Structure 1
């Protein structure tokens, strides 16, 4: 029996790269349009990017400061994907659906905690 495959898997080489780039842009645009938390986190990311750029810290520390903020965006997108899948399956309240959404939210929260600890550590080491 042949395994069903996605139409997206049939592309190869440069066509695959172009298609993947298009899907990335579409995903980011949709997240910006419909996810309030994502918009807030993008604004924090942009402020953090500027602030990290001008801070008198090492290149590695700048990378860590920017990287953890980017990680928050990545985890938020994964959380949004989980929520969309759960809602696609059913809008009915179910304990497993609640768990999936809560786990995604917890992942975002822990990533924000990591970002806060990273920023706090770098700033403390630089200015204290």
Structure 2
């Protein structure tokens, strides 16, 4: 006769048992680890360096709070999507190095999300620049 399985004494993920400021502290540390991991990726690093110029420029270029938020938000959104794409790629790579059509599809869709966000960002900035310098 086999012994019945008992639940583990420790949760698999300690984060699930944390509450309040303790959980917030650990979540913030995990987020900073994610930003550090993102910095190791050339695409994210390029976008972060561009953000160092574009975020202050959004304050100068935007003619209202809404325009500033749209300009800055498009830059931050691009960085967010890049981090998500990098996460997708890392998860797929963890599964295995062999080529698989579903792995390719996931990576291609992540890349497409970055492309669409980049085009959105370029469109917003182009529109703001044209309006500022050619329409008033």
Structure 1-normalised TM-score?
A: 0.91
Write 1 or 2 for the structure with the bigger share of helix. 1
Report Cα offsets for 1:57-108 as digits up to 9, x if no partner.
2121111101000000000000000000000111111111011000000000
1:41 correspondence with 2:24: no
How far apart in 1 are the matches of 2:52 and 2:71?
12
Query: How many residues were matched structurally?
Result: 126
Aligned-CA RMSD value = 1.7
- Residue in structure 2 matching 1:75, options 68, 71, 81: 81
TM-superposed deviation, 1:125: 1.9
Q: Which segment is superposed worse, 117-126 or 91-100?
A: 117-126
How far apart in 2 are the matches of 1:92 and 1:10?
37
* Unmatched tracts of structure 2, length 5 or more: 1-6
Moved over 3 A (4+): none
TM-superposed deviation, 1:53: 2.2
Report Cα offsets for 1:95-124 as digits up to 9, x if no partner.
110110000000000000110111111222
How far apart in 2 are the matches of 1:21 and 1:6?
16
1:29 correspondence with 2:70: no
1:92 correspondence with 2:94: no
* Unmatched tracts of structure 1, length 5 or more: none
TM-superposed deviation, 1:40: 0.3
